[in-house]
Structure 1
Amino acid sequence: MEVCKPLKSDHKLKHRPLTPYRFFRGLVCLTLFLSTAFMLLAYLGPGAVLLRYLSIHYSRKATSFFFGLWLSMWPFLFEKINGTKVVFSGDNVPQKERVLIIVNHRTEVDWMYLWDLAMRKRSLGYIKYILKSSLMKLPVLGWGFHILEFISVDRKWETDETIMHQMLSTFKNPQDPLWLALFPEGTDFTEAKCLKSQEFAAEVGLPVLTNVLLPKTRGFCLCLEALRGSLDAVYDLTIAYKHQCPFFLDNVFGVDPSEVHIHVQRIPVDEIPTSNAEGAAWLTDRFKLKDQLLSDFKSQGHFHGEGEEEELCTQKWLVNFAVIIGLTTIFSYLTIGSRVCKIYVGLACLYLAYITHYKIRPNPLVSSVCGKGKKDE
């Protein structure tokens, strides 16, 4: 059995030094992101939830619009401010598809770089994640995850199966755009986890992988079973980093990564087997291919078939940024200057914390109001 090795260069240094300027710039960016997220959630979050009583479809349109505006700040931070080079290869996927995305999990920030692709495909506001339930307990961010209908799991199939099935059943409306992201490995990659995965694979006769962990197949099969009739394709994304794998604060302060390489393969959903056993074997084969892709990346420094994706539009970002900052400024002024608004913000925070803790997502009171009641539910 081959011993796994980390997918990074031998040197231990960061790609860029953490200078006082980068540190100050990172603090400013982090403050902006958190303050804007809090104000948007406090003032708009309860309304988005209550709108579900009339129409889930239009509630999703509203949340995806504002989520996309806010989220657009992150790809711009990565590519324009930090100077990270994002290199795409493989298939040039079309815009506005409903898709399930499977991704390898190199580090804690892989999910953030999906935004760079989603933004270019006009799908930034529609991205949803299957994530561990502990993240729902984060203040402010956990509220956002709940409103955006991220699927939280405990990594215990006995409980996760019911939760996932219930949530996935609400995503079947083809009129609701969807990018549902799944990390089948279930955790980020480390040498210790890789060794355990290799030992298990050798015992049960599955492929022994070096650069990825053996995927957990039941969540993937359930997603396909529940959504197959409304999906256009599965996007198989493989992410690799030049030099060190970054962590969250590396992104904030702009010290790493220097390059992010994303290999995209689009598989029409009709080409994926329908039975769970064959679907599980298909996913395992995809991760075997990922393992080879990452081995080639280690030796060559890039994925094959690099293509051209459009550059992020600075003017469009400035408009988005101006809207977010404008709304945050107005909401902050109202909160500081009005006792009524202070009370509202306090009640809104309690409400958001309550519905997040108890996983409350209203359904339309009268299906005929929205004209799509059965589809929404």
Structure 2
Amino acid sequence: MTEASRLANSEVKASIPNSLTLPKVQFFSWFLIWKIPSLKLLKNIVSCDENWELDSASVVQLFSTTRNTRNREWIVLFPEVNIWTRSDADTQNTMWQKYYLPQLTNVLYPRFSGTINTLSALRSTAFTRLYDVTILYSRKTHDWDELDGPGMEGVFKPPSLLEILCSKPSTFKIHIHVKARLTSRLPVKRRRMEKWIEKTWFEKDILLETMKQESLAETQPLPLP
């Protein structure tokens, strides 16, 4: 997951809670900038290819309001497009093996178009930083033998929204890693930008594996009732 942020000109003083202004959060995917899912978004998901991309004129028009905003804003991207599953990961790696390409264990290969659209549209604006966010969920369980899949995938199965809101005491941990990058330091030419995104995803794959190993070392099964 990546996020582009706009920093307001005024400084927020942490010592005065009332002065804190929360940013406006929007998502960019499937040709739309949106806050909550809509019927139009669902229609685009069903009818459009995963490698969708806007032309230059459409990008400028879509991001025109965002580029000129004077408010704090975040644009959130999901370059993988799909949710990681063992089936999708195995299919991807089988295809990559034919071409002697590196194997990915914890992430799916990123789609370049949406990320490139966003970075191109927001270049030389008040959106000065991109935050590369990596999230890992780890679970505790009564019986380690019940964990499904190779590599103890059951331990790292993301919780449902219901579990997040209602599980008390919590039976999972959320591990978050954030890396900030100046947008002015990112590649400009498309081919170099694609290689940078690809390299970032290989690094993210290694990072997630490290986070998993650290989590397993820290996590112990819950005692049986």
Q: TM-score range by the shorter chain?
A: 0.5 to 0.7
- Aligned residue runs from structure 1 range 1-377, under 5 A: 97=7, 124-131=22-29, 142=37, 153-154=44-45, 155-156=48-49, 160-162=53-55, 165=59, 166-173=61-68, 175-204=70-99, 206-230=101-125, 231-243=127-139, 244-254=157-167, 258-301=172-215
Q: Distance in 1 between matches of 2:205 and 2:51?
A: 29
Query: Cα 1:252–1:164, aligned 2, differ >3 Å: closer, same or farther?
Result: farther
Q: Give the C-alpha shift of residue 193 in structure 1.
A: 1.0
Following TM superposition, by how much is the alpha carbon of 1:153 offset from its aligned partner in structure 2, in angstroms?
4.9
Amino acid across the alignment from 2:182: P
Q: TM-score, normalization: structure 1?
A: 0.41
- Aligned AA for 2:167? G
Query: How many positions carry a matched residue from both structures?
Result: 175
Higher strand share: 2
Shift of 1:205: 5.4
Q: Compared with structure 1, are the counterparts of its residues 173 and 211 closer, same or farther at alpha carbon in structure 2 (3 Å cutoff)?
A: same
2-structure distance, mates of 1:297, 1:169: 38
Is the 8 Å Cα contact of residues 131 and 153 (structure 1) preserved in structure 2?
no
Give the letter for the 1:189 counterpart: W
Gaps of 5+ in 2: 9-19, 140-156, 217-225
Flag the structure with higher helix content.
1
How many percent identity over aligned positions?
A: 24
Tell whether the 8 Å contact from 1:128 to 1:181 is kept in structure 2 after alignment: yes
Task: Rate the CA distance shift 1:191–1:176 in 2: closer, same or farther, 3 A.
Answer: same
Distance 1:285 1:239 in 2: 18
User: Which aligned runs of 4 or more in structure 1 are off by greater than 3 angstroms?
Assistant: 122-125, 152-155, 157-160, 200-207
Q: Which amino acid aligns with 2:201?
A: F
CA distance in structure 2 between the partners assigned to 1:271 and 1:260 by the alignment: 30
Name the CA shift for 1:257/1:197 in 2 (closer, same or farther; >3 Å). Answer: farther
Q: TM-score, normalised by structure 2?
A: 0.65
Return the structure number with greater relative CO, CA threshold 8 A, min gap 6.
Answer: 1
